């Protein structure tokens, strides 16, 4: 009797790391909802960094502009010495003098 072979196959197909129906192996999961945004209400441009899973990305936001930080939910926004953890449904605003405030929508 070879009853162990089918059981091992079922366990392998349903175990951790197995692809689920309709899911591509290695697909990146994204959160539903509006990605975080950064709005520069100051009259000067501001440089900022995003740290996500150890990767640091440097960017700049011109005066009066808005940036959608798509794909950066859960990352850390740093502007000068200020840091904020980003989430979906969040808007961070750079006020006069470079002060950052973040609010959930």
Confidence class of residue 28 from pLDDT cuts 50, 70 and 90? very low
Neighbours of 91 (CB within 10 A): 15
Place of tokens 């859960």: 74
CA distances in angstroms from 8 to 2, 3, 13, 20, 99, listed in the order given: 11, 9, 9, 17, 58
Residues 6 or more apart from 75 whose CB is under 8 A from it?
50, 51, 52, 53, 69, 85, 86
For residues 90-98, average pLDDT: 96
- pTM of this prediction exceeds 0.85: no
């Amino acid at each position: 009797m070879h009853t162990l072979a089918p059981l091992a196959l079922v366990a392998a197909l349903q175990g951790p790391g197995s692809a689920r129906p309709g899911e591509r192996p290695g697909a990146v999961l994204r959160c539903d909802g509006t990605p975080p945004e950064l709005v520069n209400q100051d009259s000067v441009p501001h440089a900022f960094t995003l740290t996500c899973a150890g990767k640091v990305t440097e960017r700049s936001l011109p005066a009066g502009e808005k940036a959608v930080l798509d794909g950066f939910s859960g990352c850390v926004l740093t502007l000068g010495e200020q840091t904020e953890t980003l989430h979906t449904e969040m808007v961070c605003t750079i006020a006069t003098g470079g002060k950052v405030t973040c609010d959930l929508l």
